Amino acid sequence: MRNWSKQKRQLEEMKKSLEARINSDDHHESKHALSASTGELSQYDNHPADTATDLYEREKDTAIYAHLEKELADVNQALDKIENGTYGVCARTGRDIPIERLEANPTATTTVEEARAHIADDRPVEEEVLDSFGRYNYDDDDTETEFDAEDAYQSVARFNENSMIYEDASMDDGDELIGYVEELEGFLSTGIEGYTGDENVQFQRNVHYDHYMDEL
């Protein structure tokens, strides 16, 4: 039978440290109402950003203590395994876990190979836009008529009553007509009912119209 006295002492020290952190006053404070920790009787007169900062710190503390409690549970499980003689055995394969792994991580329940094999390969959805909105620009693809990132900016920017923040105008007056399948759609429109007669078609003299006339 393998001697786990070193690992047991290490686990007992980890348990003592984790229990001290979990039972600290900071942890108990996080269980009280937010107004109790901020000293504010009401949040109504506070700026939303200040309240958001306090909430973020509270959520961060909650996540940290949840992690500590999970670590403590793993330590207690490892100590129980030492007592019942199942410590150091891979929970998936039944093989012995190398002593080097247990010295580095005394709460390990599997071999390194098994741990790697069960790492989730799904990625956060946020990574889809991390390389900027340029990946959603289809202006150079004649087969696409999608409403892309540039179209979204132009649609919002046309309502800007102040001088433009960016150098480009809210609607490009170059060669591209963005956001429309047909050029006429850039300066002709109908109501929500759709086309109900020529007299109900609205005409707008804008850069799309100028571009259309220049092409003619």
pTM over 0.75: no
Bridge partners of 96, per DSSP, are: 89
Q: How far is CA 123 from CA 87, 95, 115, in A?
A: 33, 31, 18
pLDDT at 161: 64
Q: Are 164 and 200 in contact (CB under 8 A)?
A: no
For 132-187, the DSSP string reads -GGGG--TT-TT-----HHHHHHHHHTT--SPPSSSS-SS--SS--TT-SSGGGGT
Q: What is the C-alpha to C-alpha distance for residues 14 and 75, in angstroms, rounded to an integer?
A: 7
Output the pLDDT for position 83: 92
Question: Which CATH number is 5-121's, of 1.20.120.910, 3.40.640.10, 3.60.15.10, 1.10.10.2160?
Answer: 1.20.120.910
pLDDT at 159: 74
Q: Count CB neighbours of 3 within 10 A.
A: 7
Q: What is the pLDDT of residues 35-79, one digit of tens each?
A: 656 666 666 667 777 778 878 888 888 889 899 999 999 999 999
Domain ranges within the chain, ordered by starting residue: 5-121, 127-215
Residue 71 pLDDT: 95
Q: Provide the b/e sequence for 10-34 (b: ≥16 CB within 10 Å).
A: bbeebbeebeeeeeeeebeebeeee
Q: Which residues in the chain come in under a pLDDT of 50? A: 164-175
